[in-house]
Amino acid sequence: MLTLLEQLDKGTLWKIPGGIHPPEMKSLSNASSIARLPLFDEYLLPLPQVGEQASLAVSVGEQVLKGQSLTRGAGHSYLPVHAPTSGTVIAIEPRPSNHASALPVLTLVLKSDGKDDWCTLEGANSDGANTKSVSSEGVNAEKVDIASLSRELILSRIQQAGIAGMGGAAFPSHIKLSPASEIELVIVNGVECEPYITADDRLMREHADDIIAGLEIIHKLLAPKRLIIAIEDNKPAAAEAMGAALNRSHLPAGTARVTQIPTKYPSGGEKQLIQIITGKEVPSGAIPAQLGIVVHNVGTLFAIRDAVVFGKPLIERVVTVTGNTVSKPGNYWVPIGTRVTDVLTYCDFQSEPSQKIIMGGPMMGYALPESKVPILKGSNCILVPASDEIGEMPAEKPCIRCGECAVACPASLLPQQLFWHAKAEEYDKAESYNLKDCIECGCCSYVCPSDIPLVEYYRVAKAAIRHDAEEKRKAERAKVRFEARIARLEEEKNAREAKAREAAEKRKASMVGNEKDAIAAALARVQAKKAAKDDGAVSGVAADGAGAGASVGLSAAVSAGVNNTAATPADAATTAADPKAGVAAAIARAKAKKAAAQAEAGESSAQDQASTDMAAERSTEARADVNPEPSAAQDPKKAAIAAAVARAKAKKAAAQGLSSASDAQTSDAPAIDQAIETGAEDSASNNSDENNANAAATVTPEGKEDPKKAAIAAAVARAKAKKAAKAAQNDGVDAPAADTQDNADAAEKNVTDIAESAGTDGAESAGTDAKASETLTPADAKKAAVAAAVAKAKAKKAAQAQAQASNLQQAEDNEHSSSQRDAQLAQSDNAAEAADVSEIADIDVSNVSNVPDAADGAVAENAAPQADQAQDAEQDSKKARIATAVAKAKAKKAAREQE
Amino acid sequence: MAFRISSSPHVRKDTATQAVMQKVILAALPGLAVQCYFFGWGSFIQVLLAIAVALGAEAAVLKLRGRTIKETLNDQSAILTALLIGVALPPLAPWYLVVIGTIFAIVIVKQLYGGLGQNLFNPAMAAYVLLLVSFPVLMTTWAAPLGLGADNAGFVDALKVIFSGVGAPAFALGIDGVSMATPLDTLKTDLSMGLTATESLQKPIFGGSSTGEGWVWVNLAYLAGGIYLLASKTIRWHISTGLLGALFVCSLVGFALSPDTHASPLFNLFSGATMLAAFFIATDPVTAATSRRGRLLFGALIGVLIYVIRTFGGYPDGVAFAVLLANLCAPLIDYYIKPRAYGHRGHS
Amino acid sequence: MSGIMIAVILLGLLALVFGAILGFAAVKFKVEGNPLADQVEALLPQTQCGQCGYPGCRPYAEAIVGGDKVNKCPPGGVATMEKIAELMGVEPEPLSATTEQQVKKVAYIREDECIGCTKCIQACPVDAIVGAGKLMHTVIAQDCTGCDLCVEPCPVDCIDMIPVTQDLRSWNWKLSAIPVTQLEEEKPC
């Protein structure tokens, strides 16, 4: 048993299954030597990697030199695109691609200046850089000594030269040349088995030494045990030239040889060539490197040598132009990016009716729907056959299962089974017949007596399978993400509940020590309830959503000495914005003061605790909401937005401060320590918040100068207004809860007055905020757009308000039922729970369907016309809001009366 | 400037279904000629009649199905089917046999399954089996070979016999020596009557050649046609080789074990429709297995079945049944025998 | 009489034995979850769009198994509906919603109009929108299922559903679908 190396040295060849012998038609183009084309006007350079691994290095209008890199990038598979000649970039836009679909791709359009000036080439001598054709002057130039270059340098030069496989697949060569595993065998593919094409044949005949120089570079890079140059036996001249060049080379004796293989299509396929030379098969789905084999095209070797020795990028290649409709068939050095139509015109192309332009050979090439497409690195042939040469495809006839396709298939597939399944779109079955191993060589279609375009069916099937797999993957991903989201929401909910529970436990713990107080409180509450009933009308109005602004106002009033540092800026802002609001605030303050004084008397510690906890909870929640996501951090407008966030926080903190402040003022002896603690904490946080608020204030005016910033500021303001409205609703729910408690504890109906004024104030300040956002915009360039947005936002808000109005009723109901229970149980902490319940009910906005509750029937009816009105009043959003507020208030009142 | 687009490959080998069919028909002509030489003009008339009926029936069905008639008839597959029915029927069988058989083959077995390429069973053989079970006596009465009975029926006589039945008695069963059972039938009858194979082979029908007078020449003619088909790569060798090889091996084993009750391998290979089946019937690609190994197995299955039916079955020749049974197995064979695709060595 | 008794006792015993076997089997071979629902879910496109009236694909899959109609999934299109109908052994029905949804789309946020309200982020069932309060949001096109759910909540209507275009990699190789462009006004080649 001979080892593989011995067999390689002997030149043993293996047989591949299948294969065909189509007419070669090579004599049409292989007689003359490779010619040069004149400079054309326009070159098209597709930029497939731009937007992924690469970015543009030039812009429209820029002058570029020949060989200059037009893209920048760093990725492993990045390949730069170079200018094929000097000139001006006149456009970078989608243009039809050199592809069977001609779908447009991003293309750089280069207008030649006719000078063809080289840029300075890195690593090349000056002669090389100034010579118009480095490739043709061969050994005369001062070569860079390959031996002196490091492996990394060679690889980076190959990458920087943008060298991709020139056999057709255009796979980046530097990746193939830096394999993960050891390479034992390098096969040089000079087979060129496709009919008509002679580009590699001519290149081998004319530039054998340069190709071998490229092979030496590969030998240095990979250090394989053997290098085999495979050439089909219908190209004896090329084989001879390569053999002679090999003898002149510096490659170690016995490592490299030229092997002639029998002419048969598709011997030049990578997998088939490996099978012929070594008898091994590349496992399905694997790459040859896993067998320790790499295959390189002769054209690639030539380009590698140019790149490494001269630093010359891959900007031109040999293209066979052939077919009976050109009068000058032959091989040409065509700059990459030359338009196919220019090449054809130069070769005196006489178009026939329903002409076909085939990129590549007749077996695997694709017909171009459009001729103004560029030559690519993998384009080896333009075939323009006359109609008597390659005619119209005959119509497809039924398959008679003759099995000729299976005989011809070089991959030993069953093409007819694939065809049945592909045609019936049973792609899973087609896959089970190894559709993915089809190399689309076209042998099956070639031999088919029924003229079935088998390869087309396979391509469609493959594309569909790819598409399905992609869809499947996406669906799977969507599912995972959806489930992750559900889990996250669940977790957040649990966390919230856990916190609520914790708070409740804390309350309970403190309750144990104050049982007496609790009983007193309960008694007080019963009284309060009576009072509240009498005072139904007032408290109904009080139920109106109290805005954060209102709380601020209230806090300013109540805690004038203690905590007004936090409150004042916000308050002042409100006042400045709207005198009316200011007046309202003043009234509120006055009322609040009165209320506070009276409340002082009978505040129980338990209630204090409850409200403090609640406020704390709310503020944490709010903070969590506002917390920007990490991705946002990069935004330059971060500062302004952060400031806005801070402002919101300040407000919340102020609200918090209100409750704690009142605690501090009114608390009984047992709770006093705790209250002081909270107060201290609050004031600390308020101080920091105040700073933030100030920062916000300074940022906002700045924003005005910049139209964009102003727009954002406006948007921020709008959002703020919205939030205020929302907060108003939240507070509206919370406030009544507090009301009930206050009533119970203090038996003071004046407290409802506070709440009332707070509500008014809230509505006012919410409006003011909205107005402020409007006043910000006039100077703005984008005013119109933003105004529209504002209007839209307002309209939406109005609609929302309607929904929430009814929602509020529900919350109210819940609350009342629980407060009743409270009275019976004489447990003050239940009131806090009730507040929680109502809060949750409010959060559950999506639960709108529950609104027309039986108990609320009358109320809902009452509110509905109002809400309708609100909807209609799109132009006057303020009116609408007030109307809704009134509706809400009425609803609440009704609810209370019902109770 | 709009250019024509089409999928690769852009060149096609110059073969067409029509050409394939033509070659097969051409290759069958020597066999037909020899058959006519030994058994009179009957076969020729049957073939012509079958072709006419087949084309008519196919055209009618295509019209009903709303398909293009001319293009489909052009593929000549109907003619080939008709030819095979024609040569398989007894030369002097009445006209309605061939008409029924052909219509059945074309309309039911082929077109109702979806036309060319879609039929599960070999149409000619399905028709043959239908006729065999429907008209057993008529189907097993073969014309006497040349030199054994009276003079061969002339063209006009044959026409008369086939279309009017007039003169049929004159050419009727064995005693008159014009029409008689085939050698296979004779051997089977004799063996069942207790005679040894050697004794049976002494009978005049075997003509001393121990394969049957005339039949050996018919088979040789079909073999020649088959070799032409192989040489022109119209058919591949797998099915034919499988069939003949299996038949040979089976009959060799039988003959070696019991020469008295089994015919020799040569007798089996060169009598009846063996060669016709091996090169013209079993090789119908539509109803055969598709992979190379599958086809070898498919052929071998037919060979074994032919031998089993000839030796143990109730019918003298088992080609038709064997082919139909193998047709049934073809999808199964295709399912289990797939060629190992490139790159799937060692795994899967 | 005794015959009847024997029959009754025997049958009773048999019933007991079989009951025990059934009970044992019910415990021993209990299948967790609903495998049919899993299969149906695997066929659904996982857009989580809720157009079927259920909050996500899984609930709809369970509803189908529970006897709901198979034609409520517009993103899946006719193909999905037919597959589900086949799996469930019911007659395929025409899609309930309009068939215009057949084209795959992804959401796109016009970023200079976005006010950063985070409403779309909350609406997105697959968390395919990134952004934070007051910051511009953007859609991760790769993860977008084209469910439309973010379009409605946007207060400034800055979200568009854009059909996914074919590129060279996703081209379906249907040659007959290439529009033949006539460029006669330019000089013929």
Average pLDDT, whole number, for chain A?
Answer: 70
Question: Domain check: are A507 and A519 in the same one?
Answer: no
CA distance A716 to chain C (A): 6
Question: Which member of A284, A369, A451 has the closest CB to residue B343?
Answer: A284
Residue A794 has pLDDT above 80, yes or no: no
Q: Are A401 and B117 a contacting pair at CB < 8 A?
A: yes
Whether A391 contacts chain B with CB within 8 A: no
Q: Are A631 and C145 a contacting pair at CB < 8 A?
A: no
pLDDT top residue among C110 and A782: C110
Whether C93 contacts chain A with CB within 8 A: no
Contact B24, B80 (CB under 8 A): yes
Residue B232 has pLDDT above 80, yes or no: yes
Question: Which member of B8, B290, B292 has the closest CB to residue A416?
Answer: B290
Position C183 in a domain: no
Position A366 in a domain: no
Question: Which member of C132, C156, C171 has the closest CB to residue A792?
Answer: C156
Q: Are A355 and B3 a contacting pair at CB < 8 A?
A: yes
What are the pLDDT digits (tens) for A137-151? 433 344 566 777 888
Q: Which residues is A64 bridged to in the sheet?
A: A87
Q: Are B5 and A100 a contacting pair at CB < 8 A?
A: yes
* Closest chain A residue to the Cα of C173, Cα to Cα: A460
Q: Structural domain of residue A8, as residue ranges?
A: 4-346
Q: Are B7 and C181 a contacting pair at CB < 8 A?
A: no
Question: Which member of B4, B115, B290 has the closest CB to residue A354?
Answer: B4
* Closest chain C residue to the Cα of A349, Cα to Cα: C189
Query: Can you tell me the mean pLDDT for B21-36?
Result: 92
Cis peptide before A288 (omega within 30 of 0): no
Question: Domain check: are A88 and A158 in the same one?
Answer: yes
Which of the four pLDDT bands, split at 50, 70 and 90, describes residue A867? very low
Q: Tokens 């992979």 appear where?
A: B291
Q: What is the pLDDT of residue A789?
A: 57
CA distance B5 to chain C (A): 7
Query: Can you tell me the mean pLDDT for A588-616?
Result: 47
* pTM beyond cutoff 0.80: no
Q: Are B1 and C189 a contacting pair at CB < 8 A?
A: yes
C158: domain CATH number? Answer: 3.30.70.20
A173: domain CATH number? Answer: 3.40.50.11540
Question: Domain check: are A502 and A577 in the same one?
Answer: no
pLDDT top residue among C46 and A231: A231
A416: domain CATH number? Answer: 1.10.1060
Q: What is the pLDDT of residue B300?
A: 95
Q: What is the pLDDT of residue A841?
A: 38
Query: Can you tell me the mean pLDDT for A457-479?
Result: 89
Query: Can you tell me the mean pLDDT for A369-375?
Result: 91
Which of the four pLDDT bands, split at 50, 70 and 90, describes residue A100? confident
Q: Would you list the DSSP string of A805-820?
A: HHHHHHHHHHHHHHHH
Position C82 in a domain: yes
Question: Domain check: are A589 and A657 in the same one?
Answer: yes
Q: What is the pLDDT of residue A141?
A: 44
Position C19 in a domain: no
Whether B16 contacts chain A with CB within 8 A: yes
CA distance B113 to chain A (A): 13
Which residues of chain B have a CB within 8 Å of the CB of C183? 1-2
Domain boundary, last residue among A482, A513, A544: A513
Question: Domain check: are A223 and A252 in the same one?
Answer: yes
Which residues of chain A have a CB within 8 Å of the CB of C37? none
Q: Are B1 and C178 a contacting pair at CB < 8 A?
A: no
CA distance B49 to chain C (A): 45
What are the pLDDT digits (tens) for B79-99? 999 999 999 988 888 899 999
pLDDT top residue among A274 and B264: A274
Cα angle B38, B39, B44 (rounded to 5 degrees) comes to 110
Query: Can you tell me the mean pLDDT for B58-66?
Result: 91
Q: What is the pLDDT of residue C88?
A: 86
Question: Domain check: are A498 and A527 in the same one?
Answer: no
Q: What is the pLDDT of residue C80?
A: 84
Position C184 in a domain: no
Q: What is the pLDDT of residue A48?
A: 84
Position C134 in a domain: yes
Q: Tokens 């009017």 appear where?
A: B164
Q: Structural domain of residue C160, as residue ranges?
A: 103-165
* Closest chain A residue to the Cα of B337, Cα to Cα: A414
Question: Domain check: are A657 and A689 in the same one?
Answer: yes
Q: Are A351 and B288 a contacting pair at CB < 8 A?
A: no
pLDDT top residue among B144 and B103: B103
Q: Are B5 and C182 a contacting pair at CB < 8 A?
A: no
Question: Which member of A100, A485, A626 has the closest CB to residue C133?
Answer: A626
Which of the four pLDDT bands, split at 50, 70 and 90, describes residue A455? very high
Average pLDDT, whole number, for chain C?
Answer: 81
Which of the four pLDDT bands, split at 50, 70 and 90, describes residue C166? confident
Please give the share of chain A, as a percent, with pLDDT higher than 70: 55
Which of the four pLDDT bands, split at 50, 70 and 90, describes residue A885? low
Q: Are C180 and B2 a contacting pair at CB < 8 A?
A: yes
Distances, alpha carbon C99 to alpha carbons A141, A421, B176, C47, C107, in Å: 67, 27, 79, 16, 19
Which of the four pLDDT bands, split at 50, 70 and 90, describes residue A119? confident
Domain boundary, last residue among A513, A547, A573: A513
Cis peptide before C155 (omega within 30 of 0): no
Contact A665, A657 (CB under 8 A): no
Whether A20 contacts chain B with CB within 8 A: yes
Position C182 in a domain: no
Which residues of chain A have a CB within 8 Å of the CB of C120? none
Q: What are phi and psi of B7, to 5 degrees?
A: -80, 150
Count of pairs with CB atoms under 8 A, one residue in A, one in C: 140
Query: Can you tell me the mean pLDDT for C170-187?
Result: 57
Which of the four pLDDT bands, split at 50, 70 and 90, describes residue A543? very low
Question: Domain check: are A675 and A822 in the same one?
Answer: yes
Question: Which member of B1, B6, B7 has the closest CB to residue C188?
Answer: B1
* Residue C52 marked in a binding site: yes
Total domains present in chain A:
3
Domain boundary, last residue among A513, A542, A569: A513
Question: Domain check: are A709 and A800 in the same one?
Answer: yes
> What ipTM was predicted for this assembly?
0.84
Best of A454, A479, A723 to disrupt the C interface (most C CBs within 10 Å) is A479
Distance CA B269, CA A850 (A): 90
Position A371 in a domain: no
* Residue C189 marked in a binding site: no
Whether B334 contacts chain A with CB within 8 A: yes
What are the pLDDT digits (tens) for C75-115? 887 888 888 888 888 888 777 655 555 677 888 898 888 88
* Residue C73 marked in a binding site: yes
pLDDT top residue among C118 and A810: C118
| Contacting subunits of B (3+ beta carbon pairs below 8 A) | A, C
Which residues of chain B have a CB within 8 Å of the CB of C175? 5-7
Q: What is the pLDDT of residue A513?
A: 61
Identify the weakest region by mean pLDDT among A299-313, A752-766, B287-301, C154-168.
A752-766
Question: Which member of A48, A482, A631 has the closest CB to residue C48?
Answer: A482
64-83 in B: which are within 8 Å (CB) of A?
71, 75, 77
Question: Domain check: are A451 and A552 in the same one?
Answer: no
Please give the share of chain C, as a percent, with pLDDT higher than 70: 88
What are the pLDDT digits (tens) for A683-718? 444 444 444 434 333 333 343 344 555 555 555 555
Q: Which chain B residues touch C if contact means CB-CB below 8 Å?
A: 1-2, 5-7
Contact B222, B276 (CB under 8 A): yes
CA distance A485 to chain C (A): 7
Q: What is the pLDDT of residue A309?
A: 87
Question: Domain check: are C69 and C46 in the same one?
Answer: yes
Question: Domain check: are A560 and A437 in the same one?
Answer: no
Distances, alpha carbon B17 to alpha carbons A22, A403, B11, B71, in Å: 19, 12, 17, 11
Question: Domain check: are A326 and A407 in the same one?
Answer: no
Query: Can you tell me the mean pLDDT for A73-92?
Result: 90
What are the pLDDT digits (tens) for A664-687? 343 333 333 443 344 434 444 444
Query: Can you tell me the mean pLDDT for B217-226?
Result: 92
Total domains present in chain C:
2
Which residues of chain C have a CB within 8 Å of the CB of B7? 175
